[in-house]
A and B are shown apart, each in its own frame.
Chain A
Amino acid sequence: MTATTTAAAAIARSYRDYDRPLWQRVLLTREMAIIALVVLVSVVAAATVRGFGQPITVTYLLLDVMPILLIALPMTLVMITGEIDLSVASIVGLSSVLTGVLTAGGLPFEVAAVVALVAGAVCGAVNGFLVTVVGLPSLAVTIGTLALFRGLAVGLLGTTAITDFPDFWTDLAKARVGGSNVPVVLFVFLVLLVVFIVLLHFTPFGRGIYAIGLSKAAARFSGVHVERTKFVLFVLAGTISALAGVFYTLRFGSARGDNATGLELQVIAAVVLGGVSVFGGRGAIHGVIAGVLLIGVLSSALRLANVTSDVINIITGALLVLSVVATSFLAWLRKRRKAPGGTPRIEASTAG
């Protein structure tokens, strides 16, 4: 970077990196609000609900939300680009059935699981192809593939279930580390978590994801491969969903066509609750994890408190609506404060 205006550099202005102090940037965020809410709910539940404080509760809580945690990772990235994938739960079902059918057909479980993962990647590629190459809206495409993939799963296996899996694997899915209450699968998740955090927050690819979500045109003009990025993310979502499907199968020892039906809505609810904007461009992984855990903790605590397990639906729904409405409301307030005239400053330079 030698060839430019040295004259200007000589009278260099000083720039601060940030306009707000560190504590504000870390604490006054939507993600932190959700994390605080998780902590608050956990503390209150531990104090008031009998049995919630027990370590075994944590184990089951983690095992229960594991599929959502896993799928939420790629879903976050997909939604930050402004797209959506409703077919993830159907891919969970399809990979579960494939694992079961192939194992029952005599293949070693390991091979069957790998085939299921590949099938998940192919499902994701189908979504990605229809969205990026054919140019269809992802909402419509994945409503279609939601039915298609689920239909394939149910069609392959009917209403029967395959329950014969190697004990080693089914035990592993429920196993805890040593004598502790930490489930082994948590480590699989943690590895993926690190991978996705790095991918989204610390790579040029991740910078591209945000740019696509905020302005597709500006991203393209800056050399971001918009279509390729989206395609990769759909494939990732398919693969991770298939992984969740294999886990689901082992955890319950059962491959069924209707496994994980409706899970896509829970995943999306958790992701949005965690601060990802449906318009794209906004959100962070830690917020999403908190969103998933919030739903998990609430349902676990309520179940232990003997409230009908499905009450969680109301809470999930209400939290979802509240969180997005609150965001709009805060944005509206901020706009009013900044520009009393009612016209946001951002429009200034269109005038001319």
Chain B
Amino acid sequence: MSDTPRMTADTPPAPAATPPMLELENVAKSFGAVVALRSGSLRLERGSIHALIGENGAGKSTLVKIVAGLYRRDAGDFRLNGESVDFGSTAQSKAAGIAVIYQEPTLFPDLTVTENVFMGRQPVGRFGRIDRKAMRAEVEQLFARLGVGIDPDRPAEGLSIADQQVIEIAKAVSLDARVLIMDEPTAALSGVEVDRLFQIARSLRDEGRALLFISHRFDEVFALCDTVTVMRDGAYIATTPIGETTVDGLVRQMVGRDVTDLFPKLPAEIREPLLEVEGLSSPLFHDISFTVRAGEIVGLAGLVGAGRSEVARAVFGVDAYDEGTVRLGGRAIPKNRPDAAMRAGLALVPEDRRKQGLVLESSVARNVTLAIRETIAKAGLITSGMENRAAKEWASRLEVKTNALSTVAGTLSGGNQQKVVLGKWLATEPRVLIIDEPTRGIDIGTKSEVHRLLSELAGRGMGILMISSELPEVLGMADRVLVMREGRITAEIDRDDATSENVMFAATHAQGAHQ
């Protein structure tokens, strides 16, 4: 991707005498023993679009949440227009002219688009009567300015993520927010939607606002932004004008070491096919076919929203699908039956650890044994003793760091939570493991532990389907890479041929035949 066209139209603004619009210096934040942000720094200038990039767990979200007033910093400086600020709530941050557009905006589904834009600050006339005409006129004006054609009278329910983001932006503009922060806004958008968003972003910049754009996609960073700041392991690494850097340079800053050393997949004998998926279709994905063989790690790459997790969920039976078959070891698995999939030897470590993987308020022991509760029961009965025995075995095999098995899972660090989820599913002794974002939000040390474990499991003959948004992880671990784009598998690349360029190309570009 080093040949990505540099599309920076404007030169970054010259350092002015006036202080930057927003400035963070050595900001830190910990949660108990977990350090989420060691030393975050950032300078946002007026009339510029600034990219913030870094791997998952680099501390970007924490930084944003401090700016948004959701968290209070433990240390460091936070200045707005040169004046030190400290937000205790989102309302304070908003009042100071900061607006955050999240990846998945929160709107009121039952209310109209217009009401959503103005909730809590509607224009009122006599007797406190809301001036609906004025409100609608302003929304029309806003939408015209942003160049979007959303019906202002429809309820927010059912709007696409892109449209919801536009409404959030309209809200920010009508509030006259000077700083707009977009947290991975393009993750779930289609190409056309991304173009529209970028147009809006540029026009906002030209009005003199400061925009912070958080993204994983280098092509977008180079296409849109003026300056880029890289973070790694909770700390600031560097800020560079976009014209003075390259994709390779940014990757080096993000990873901090040579990519290939990080993820050793030991060679394993690849044997008979285990998981065979054929022609799987649903409204979210189309005609998905692939095979996972014993001893093999298959990487499933693609952008967030390409339909990878949806496929995994359908294969495991958590979601229904319309057409197609799933077979394991030659035997068909009925659709929409996670229990049947489990019995057949399939396991799914889901994407959202805290919501889908764990019962957060339950103990480590209960979590580890939840999926095997029926197999460890004797004569249909189960006791805490049985659970503790099984849990102890898996906790020690995976070296979960906790004192007692009765510890509530939600209090563990992200890495240890992931180990508990892994233990829970390895305890079912699966033949095929589907693992969705195996290392999202966990520390570097645990990360390599997880990778070593996956490699060992494959070495013992397990088939592994690994969904990952981190290219180095996919390239380092997978024997074969499948790439998905907009609900379809667009490429299948062998380990030896896979490069970040061809994987990324398949993930972002429709194949020649289509366009």
Q: Which residues of A contact B (CB under 8 A)?
A: 1, 3-5, 8-9, 11-20, 198, 202-204, 206-208, 210-211, 214-215, 217-225, 281, 338-339, 341-343, 345-352
Cross-interface CB contact of B31 among A4, A18, A202, A343, cutoff 8 Å: A343
B453 within 8 A of A: yes
A204 touches B382 (CB 8 A): yes
Residues of chain A contacted by B371 (CB below 8 angstroms): 222-223
> Which of B151-159, B250-258, B391-399 contacts its partner?
B391-399
B59 touches A352 (CB 8 A): yes
B382 touches A207 (CB 8 A): yes
Residues of chain A contacted by B417 (CB below 8 angstroms): 349
Residues of chain A contacted by B404 (CB below 8 angstroms): 15-19
Using CB atoms, name the residue of chain A closest to B430.
A3
Distance (whole angstroms) from the CB of A207 to the closest CB of chain B: 5
Q: Which B372-431 residues have C-beta < 8 A from chain A?
A: 373-374, 377, 380-384, 388, 391-393, 395-400, 402-407, 410-414, 417, 424, 426-427, 429
- Beyond A207-B370, A211-B362, A221-B318, whether A15 also contacts B399 by CB under 8 A is no
- Beyond A13-B399, A341-B72, whether A351 also contacts B61 by CB under 8 A is yes
Cross-interface CB contact of B355 among A12, A17, A215, A342, cutoff 8 Å: A215
A218 touches B357 (CB 8 A): yes
Residues of chain B contacted by A18 (CB below 8 angstroms): 404-406
B392 touches A15 (CB 8 A): yes
> Which of B110-118, B266-274, B456-464 contacts its partner?
B456-464
Using CB atoms, name the residue of chain B closest to A225.
B339
B36 within 8 A of A: yes
A221 touches B357 (CB 8 A): yes
Given contacts A1-B429, A19-B407, A352-B57, 4 further A-B contacts (CB under 8 A): A13-B400, A211-B359, A214-B361, A221-B356
B350 within 8 A of A: yes
Nearest 5 interchain pairs by C-beta: A348-B31, A349-B414, A19-B404, A351-B36, A12-B396
Using CB atoms, name the residue of chain A closest to B461.
A3
Residues of chain A contacted by B61 (CB below 8 angstroms): 350-352
Q: Which B305-354 residues have C-beta < 8 A from chain A?
A: 316, 318, 338-339, 341-342, 348, 350, 352-354
How far, in angstroms, from A12 to B395 measured CA to CA in the complex? 9
B358 touches A220 (CB 8 A): no
B429 touches A345 (CB 8 A): no
Q: Which B452-476 residues have C-beta < 8 A from chain A?
A: 453, 456-457, 460-462
- Can you list 15 A-B contacts (CB < 8 A)? A8-B398, A8-B399, A15-B403, A19-B407, A204-B374, A210-B366, A211-B359, A214-B360, A215-B359, A221-B357, A349-B353, A349-B417, A351-B31, A352-B58, A352-B441
How far, in angstroms, from A113 to B398 measured CA to CA in the complex? 56
Residues of chain A contacted by B400 (CB below 8 angstroms): 13
A347 touches B31 (CB 8 A): yes
Q: Which B178-195 residues have C-beta < 8 A from chain A?
A: none
Using CB atoms, name the residue of chain A closest to B459.
A3
B32 within 8 A of A: yes
Residues of chain B contacted by A338 (CB below 8 angstroms): 32
How far, in angstroms, from A1 to B339 measured CA to CA in the complex? 19
Distance (whole angstroms) from the CB of A302 to the closest CB of chain B: 38
Cross-interface CB contact of A348 among B352, B381, B413, B457, cutoff 8 Å: B413
Report whether over half of chain A's contact residues are helix, strand or loop; otherwise say mixed: loop
How far, in angstroms, from A1 to B405 measured CA to CA in the complex? 20
B41 within 8 A of A: no
Question: Number of contact residues on B: which range applies?
Answer: 35 or more
How far, in angstroms, from A214 to B358 measured CA to CA in the complex? 10
How far, in angstroms, from A346 to B60 measured CA to CA in the complex? 19
**Tally of A-B residue pairs with Cβ under 8 A?**
181
Distance (whole angstroms) from the CB of A82 to the closest CB of chain B: 13
Residues of chain A contacted by B440 (CB below 8 angstroms): 352
Residues of chain A contacted by B229 (CB below 8 angstroms): none
Residues of chain B contacted by A352 (CB below 8 angstroms): 36, 56-62, 414, 440-441
A5 touches B453 (CB 8 A): yes
How far, in angstroms, from A342 to B70 measured CA to CA in the complex? 11
Residues of chain B contacted by A208 (CB below 8 angstroms): 373
- Beyond A207-B366, A217-B356, whether A198 also contacts B29 by CB under 8 A is no
Residues of chain B contacted by A281 (CB below 8 angstroms): 361
B56 touches A15 (CB 8 A): no
Residues of chain A contacted by B341 (CB below 8 angstroms): 223
Distance (whole angstroms) from the CB of B368 to the closest CB of chain A: 11
Contact flags B57-73 to A (C-beta < 8 A → 1, else 0): 11111100100000110
B131 within 8 A of A: no
Using CB atoms, name the residue of chain B closest to A220.
B318
Cross-interface CB contact of B370 among A198, A211, A346, cutoff 8 Å: A211
B207 within 8 A of A: no
Residues of chain A contacted by B353 (CB below 8 angstroms): 349
B74 within 8 A of A: yes
B354 touches A341 (CB 8 A): no
B456 touches A5 (CB 8 A): yes
Residues of chain B contacted by A350 (CB below 8 angstroms): 61, 354, 441
Using CB atoms, name the residue of chain A closest to B408.
A346
B381 touches A203 (CB 8 A): yes
How far, in angstroms, from A349 to B383 measured CA to CA in the complex? 30
B338 touches A220 (CB 8 A): yes
Cross-interface CB contact of A198 among B348, B381, B405, cutoff 8 Å: B381
How far, in angstroms, from A342 to B88 measured CA to CA in the complex? 11
Distance (whole angstroms) from the CB of A217 to the closest CB of chain B: 5
B373 touches A207 (CB 8 A): yes
A15 touches B429 (CB 8 A): no
How far, in angstroms, from A15 to B396 measured CA to CA in the complex? 8
Residues of chain B contacted by A224 (CB below 8 angstroms): 370
A15 touches B395 (CB 8 A): yes
Using CB atoms, name the residue of chain A closest to B375.
A204
B96 within 8 A of A: no
A15 touches B355 (CB 8 A): no
Using CB atoms, name the residue of chain B closest to A223.
B339
- Beyond A17-B406, A221-B338, whether A3 also contacts B414 by CB under 8 A is no
How far, in angstroms, from A18 to B36 measured CA to CA in the complex? 28
Residues of chain B contacted by A204 (CB below 8 angstroms): 373-374, 377, 380, 382
Residues of chain B contacted by A215 (CB below 8 angstroms): 355, 358-361
B359 touches A342 (CB 8 A): no
Residues of chain B contacted by A5 (CB below 8 angstroms): 397-398, 453, 456
Residues of chain B contacted by A12 (CB below 8 angstroms): 396-397
